[in-house]
């Protein structure tokens, strides 16, 4: 086979490559990056940072301590009062500076987590843009290269017939054969590149194409 001739040793026939090109997303907007593992991890980090920030902010709030007492027997001026209610409010005046510092740290951590998510989304979108553009370029080249294969195949057949009639030399036939091989190899190369680009688009979404 052609692969054996390229590498110089026998290679058994390989399983056919699935039609990944046929799995190409219809439009670029069909490509979703929200479920990528790195994106999900950054979103989870933001939620953790939000919880930490809210917890630190709550340390500014006064603490309230309430108590209710019921008495079965009392003496003195409170003899006729069988219950009382105590309410205490604790204002964190002495730890205010420390709490304020912790709040600023938590706010900075939250902002950093949000920036990390923005950076990850920006890089993911750029990756999709680049692969999509490369794929579209190859998809435009494929039909043109397929036509080139057909033309060089017809030329090789013509040169072979004319050689049998003594109209051309064997070198001309060989040139036509080499041109056909080059055209076929370039067509297969474009197919493989396009297939890999489709796979990369799926990986960019955090998944793999479904192969039956």
Task: Please report the pLDDT score of residue 35 as a whole number.
Answer: 85
Whole-number Å distance between alpha carbons of 1 and 181: 12
Task: Please report the pLDDT score of residue 159 as a whole number.
Answer: 94
- pLDDT, tens digit, 9 for 90 and up, residues 46-88: 999 999 888 877 665 555 555 556 656 656 666 666 655 565 5
Task: Please report the pLDDT score of residue 204 as a whole number.
Answer: 87
Q: How far is CA 76 from each of CA 23, 56, 68, 80, 134, rounded to the nearest angstrom?
A: 90, 47, 20, 9, 93
| SS3 call for 164 | helix
Task: Please report the pLDDT score of residue 54 as a whole number.
Answer: 84
DSSP state letter for 166: T
Task: Please report the pLDDT score of residue 140 as a whole number.
Answer: 96
Regions of the chain with pLDDT less than 70: 1-16, 58-97, 212
What domains does the chain contain, in order, with CATH numbers?
20-203 (1.20.1600.10)
pTM: 0.67
With beta carbons less than 8 A apart as the criterion, state whether 196 and 134 touch: no
Phi and psi, residue 193, nearest 5°: -60, -45
With beta carbons less than 8 A apart as the criterion, state whether 162 and 89 touch: no
């Amino acid at each position: 086979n052609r692969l054996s001739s390229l590498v110089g040793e026998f290679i058994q026939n390989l399983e056919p490559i699935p039609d990944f090109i046929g799995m190409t997303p219809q439009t670029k907007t069909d490509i979703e990056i929200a479920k990528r593992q790195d994106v999900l991890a950054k979103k989870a980090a933001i939620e953790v940072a939000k919880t930490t920030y809210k917890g630190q902010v709550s340390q500014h709030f006064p603490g309230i301590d309430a108590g209710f007492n019921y008495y079965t027997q009392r003496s003195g001026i409170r003899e006729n009062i069988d219950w009382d209610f105590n309410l205490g409010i604790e204002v964190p005046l002495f730890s205010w500076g420390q709490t304020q510092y912790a709040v600023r740290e938590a706010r900075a951590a939250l902002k950093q987590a949000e920036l990390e998510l923005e950076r990850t989304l920006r890089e993911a979108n750029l990756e999709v843009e680049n692969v999509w553009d490369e794929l579209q370029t190859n998809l435009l080249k494929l039909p043109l290269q397929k036509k080139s294969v057909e033309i060089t195949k017809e030329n090789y057949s013509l040169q072979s017939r004319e050689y049998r009639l003594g109209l051309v030399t064997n070198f001309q036939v060989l040139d036509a054969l080499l041109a056909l091989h080059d055209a076929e190899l370039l067509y297969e190369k474009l197919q493989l590149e396009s297939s890999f680009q489709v796979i990369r688009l799926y990986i960019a979404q955090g998944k793999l194409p479904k192969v039956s």
